[in-house]
Amino acid sequence: MDEEQKSILLKTSSRFPIPPGVKFSYGTAGFRADALVLESTVYRAGILAALRSIKTRSVIGLMITASHNKISDNGVKIADPSGGMLTQAWEPFADALANATDSDCLLQLIIEFAKEESILIDGHCRAEVLLGRDTRPSGESLLEAAKQGINSIVGSAAIDMGILTTPQLHWMVRARNKGMKASERDYFEQLSSSFRCLMNLVPGECKVKGTDYKLVVDGANGVGGEKLECLMNMLDGLVIEVRNTGKGGGILNEGVGADYVQKEKVVPQEFGSNDIGMRCASLDGDADRLVYFIVPSVSSNNIMLVDGDKMLSLFALFIKEQLSILYKGVDENNPYQARFGVVQTAYANGASTDFLKELGLEVVLTPTGVKFLHEKAVEYDIGIYFEANGHGTILFSDSFLCWLEKRQNELSSMSEGSEPQKAALRLLAVSKLVNQAVGDAFSGLLLAEAILQTLSWSINQWSELYQDLPSRQLKVKVMDRTAVVTANAETVVVKPPGIQEAINAETVKYPRGRSFIRPSGTEDVIRVYAEASTQEGADSLAHSVGKLVEQFLE
């Protein structure tokens, strides 16, 4: 690193002193905090993104959002060349960068890391970072801080893509690095054309027209509502009414959005008695989560929730069916058998896991966090992961897609319009419709709608795939959450000694009982999850396990 580069870093970083008494940690959500204390962190994230671009010789993304958090919060996350999340290997550097106490410490940290990673910072290695932000008022000033961070590395270019959903930015990064067109218009066109292909393959007797197939969407008063209205203009075969777009004075994520609906299980604002029996869906603040719901009656504010577990189950059922059709009679000449797997966390409802296993699917668990789910799903030819909160996607391996393209062409030449050929076309369309970089509420919504029409199912039939086991989640405040150490995808406690045996002893008292504990990643609490055959049993089991946590950690 030459003296000019050192001087630029010292000068620009002095404008962004770190706030006193705040410690930042890069997690699944990137850095996230009250927007008032984030400027220095976002500036430093800009530096990190530029270094990552130089290291990988690829386009990198930087998204400013706090997703489902309250409007006064904000955050920043990095998208890697694949469009996925920042590699976990760089997270310790991200933490150190954000918490470096002054400009001199920051400079020394960068010099040492660049040497360790063989990153040449001399102005000749180019870096390119795509920037996006959601609709939060704090986003504009934080975007400027990110630009200054990126531009402080000589030879770097910060490209402002404007106000976007988080999945749009991740998609753009992936597309750019694959040599594809990567504008917002290109994103919308890929989604709409793939959806159109799936709808064209819906059997004639299953097709529903016009307002008979209306979907009402809660936009969380965020960027998703605004962008969905743009996408709607390019869709055929689906009528969407978007509410809570943010234009009517509603507050981002306040009484609205997928996180609120999924956790509280009540109707969001602007929904009520006029929506009884309607198919409804809810996005989160940056449109990377999606849940469906039904307003069942006038007398209650509660909803019938169709969460991420049931989205995963619908998608898995559909894909398994298409694979079965595709493979009929092709084993001898086309031995390629896709390895199809489903990835969940311990928070997935036990009934969903049972349902998926009964379908004959391979189901594996990972620790909580999308980065762990995505990492595991990549190992399959077709890997589906979803969390109950509605964040997830479907990944297809390049080798399987190459075989699928070849097989579709063979089927087309042999028997145009045959069921195996249609199955191949459906799977190819799904691979283009889903966002293979990250969970995407828009692609998930369009895929769900196309599948429901293909199966000629109502949302009630979807909801009745299986009956969720009653569950309860609790938080127990502790002095030191690191005292709890887990293994086996957080389902078993290895420290403190004896607590797992005590949890097992409580769990066996309840029919279909299941319980686990895990330390929070952000606060000094231990999270308790419990399931049982009745809500009373789940509540009682959670309470008992919570008492065990207090007892063993006092």
- 55/81 Cα distance (integer angstroms): 11
Q: Is 381 annotated in some ligand binding site?
A: no
- 532/455 Cα distance (integer angstroms): 32
Burial letters 520-539, b for 16+ CB under 10 A, else e: beeeeebbbbbbbeeeebbb
How many angstroms separate the most distant Cα atoms in the chain? 72
Q: Is 522 annotated in some ligand binding site?
A: yes
Q: Is 351 annotated in some ligand binding site?
A: no
Query: Coil, strand or helix: which one is 26?
Result: coil
**Nearest C-alpha neighbor of 78 from the set 110, 93, 185:** 93
Q: Is 288 annotated in some ligand binding site?
A: yes
Q: Is 284 annotated in some ligand binding site?
A: yes
- 152/143 Cα distance (integer angstroms): 14
Q: Is 300 annotated in some ligand binding site?
A: no
Q: Is 497 annotated in some ligand binding site?
A: no
Q: Are 400 and 338 in contact (CB under 8 A)?
A: yes
Q: Is 518 annotated in some ligand binding site?
A: yes
Q: Is 95 annotated in some ligand binding site?
A: no
Q: Is 527 annotated in some ligand binding site?
A: yes
Backbone angles phi, psi at 225, to 5 degrees: -60, -45
Residues with Cβ within 8 Å of 425's Cβ and at least 6 positions away in sequence, in order, are 197, 201, 408
**Nearest C-alpha neighbor of 278 from the set 455, 452, 460, 457:** 460
Query: Tokens standing for 462?
Result: 């979807």
Tell me, yes or no, if 415 is annotated catalytic: no
Please report, as a single letter, which amino acid is at residue 87.
T
Query: Tokens standing for 77?
Result: 């996350």
Q: Which of 53, 67, 282, 443 is catalytic?
A: 67
Residues catalogued as catalytic: 67
Q: Which residues are annotated as a binding site?
A: 67, 284, 286, 288, 387-389, 518-522, 527
Q: Which residues are annotated as a binding site for substrate?
A: 387-389, 518-522, 527
Q: Which residues are annotated as a binding site for Mg(2+)?
A: 67, 284, 286, 288
